[in-house]
Structure 1
Amino acid sequence: MSYPALAEHQLRVSYLARILGREVGFSGKELEALVIAGALHDLALFTSVDKKLALEEDPQTLERHARWGYALLRGFPYLRRSAEFILHHHAPWQILKEKDDQMWALGSNILRLADTLEIRSRELRPLLFYRSRLLEDLNSLKGSEFAPEVIEALHRAGEKELFWLRLENFSKEREVIFQTETATHLPCDQIEFLTRLFALIIDLKSPFTRIHSAGVAAVTDWLAEVLGFRDFMRVFLRVAAYLHDLGKLAVPEAILNKPGHLTEEEWAVMKAHPFYTFRILEEIPNLEMVNYIASAHHERLDGRGYPAKLSAPDLSLGARVLAVADVTTALLEDRPYRKGFLPEKARGILGELSGSALDPEIVSLVVGNMEYVVNLIRYVEEKRLEQLSTLGYWESKSGRGI
């Protein structure tokens, strides 16, 4: 099930947070953190169930996803301030105003107002006709739900017809969401941290893939070490492994979690996910090598893979390593249509794929060290479950539990 009402919601909130933040006096890094918080504030609505409950304004879901979003982002130095804004973006001003850090309180409240305004204005057209009613309704909450200076900032911004016209005719291609006063360049270690975060979000879309990307990254890195890759290339490979299933964010959960075989139509949707991985990553500068490796993880040496039908001469050693790591991890983990295979069974399947689909030298490394690979994936699973437990999240028999 999809939720069109949530389409571009986070980007619109980010746009509104930027406008309101500037009106209140935010600038530099504080404004940048606020804008990013707007773009990521619903990060922890992992599944369609989460999204449905959030749309219904279920109090437990609203509180929980704010707490989870904070927990996911706080360990990343670049996003720590954004995480703080997200933590309290459903808290009323009556509570926030008691905080010692007033910029934190105001940023959280700006995010709350941007979120509220986006939701309330979504079905109202034309917005210029309804703007007075919106402003009056929100003004009545001044002092209790929203800080007076935040409401006053909205009134100043709302005096301009352009504010409402841009919101009504929002175009993510034209609105430069991260229009901030500073530019940030991330070192490799922080980029890798960020990709691990993306991998967690991808994996949690389905209860059957809770460690998949992390497992693939661990096996990929081990293979790269054994094969003598230099350190910088191992970083590229780990990042590619964490991001290889990024395109699955575009695949409906009904297909990802289907317990039986996919229909031809459903399989057509599933086979598009490496292409969507490519499309997403091609927008990011300096990740061309990562993108090539990540989006080729379903290509085969014999040219019968997808989506580009690449063959052996087109596939770098890095792409071959990731392909073997992906298949190996998938064979050993539970899927909606089967339990994970025992090591001997996995060895046999890898042997059948060796030479036709997968690089035989790399397959031989896995097959000859299967016990080590199994233990490596188990270790990754234990670490992932520890991470989820810190969020108050774990997997239940039905798929999710709190």
Structure 2
Amino acid sequence: MQVRTHLLTLLMTLVFSQLTFADSSHDNSQANVKRIGQHFSAVQLGPRPFFLVNDMDEGALKDRLSRCGKGPFRPSTFSIGHRGAALQFPEHTRESYVAAAKMGAGIIECDVTFTKDRELVCRHSQCDLHTTTNILATPLASKCSVPPEFDQNGVLTNAKAIQCCTSDITLAEFKTLEGKMDAANTAATSIEEYMDATPSFRTDLYSAHGTLMTHAEYIALVDDLGADFTPELKTPSVTMPFEGDYTQADFAQQMINEYRSAGIHPRRVWAQSFDFDDILYWNQNEPWFARQAVYLDGSEDASTSLEQMQQWKADGMKVLAPPMWMLLDVNENGDIVPSQYAKNAKAAGLKLITWTLERSGLLKDNGGYYYQSVNGSLGKADVIDNDGDTFTVLDVLAKQVGVIGVFSDWPATTTFYANCMNL
């Protein structure tokens, strides 16, 4: 009986140790730790994934996806909501995050920056309030780094130069703003023209009164929705240390501290940065959170060598995230295949995530930046010519490149594929 009791106690201890993120420098009491969230909402994909399947070229992949139409569908961490569901909802708003979760995004992104009073908020850039919110239509426009200017006739004269930053205003002021689709008409002669510039492949139907979010509010919402987190520590647009004493290390630590305060397990957090020094900081100071920290490769250098990637791995990087085009190539038969960059990453033992699906116009019009290695822009054959090719690209990324997650502006598409392929 005593042996059985001892074994039961040992087993419970081992189980509990897997649920906590103990390290000697932080409070890790049971009250400050939550289990990994699994209480997802019912997934609602809507018509778009099926529209894309119908638009595909005939073949085995279309046949496979066509058999998946009835569902049921479940959330997947392969499906990452890029700024929420930014194809139709204003990015980094409550509405966008909820839509992403409804579409089965198992991970949802908040780009993290800070206000004048050093509170963390969700914005793609520290200085994008003039394009992603209604600040120019409010009295806060006068506080912008470069406020709008008008001539004696009331004509806007500096549309190209306007810049409004989160660090220009306090958190309380930030919370009075409303989100809108990220767009600006830099040739405008009025504020109304400046703000009315949404790209044709998006919509303003859901842009009214977009609710801006603090980072802490995002954590609480996404936790309640049952998804996991990928906060990106945005490179500050202001000189650091901010106002002389708020350092980059302070910023990087503050972001992690908000997950600790909320009792979020590190296994649910995919901290990201384009600055490799942030990855190194987390490795040295937050090793539990650094285990799946993501280095966003914005170099646009698809020729990065195996030796360089091996050095990244030796320095502590575990997850690499370049744009989609850097992972793709076209072979002599006109097939989409993994690029040398993708092969090097695999050889170096790095996990891969990529960005961003559904962030382009029509693929029959070549798809732009994210498809440049397969649309003829880099001298290779143009092998995409319809929107259905979205799934062709996604299939190569998943099965041949081996990515573990894909950012998407419309997570339903990626969720559908992940369910169909049992990812």
TM-score over 0.5 (shorter chain): no
TM-score by length of 2: 0.26
Q: Greater helix share, 1 or 2?
A: 1
* Structure of greater relative contact order (alpha carbons < 8 Å, 6+ residues apart): 2
Q: Greater strand share, 1 or 2?
A: 2
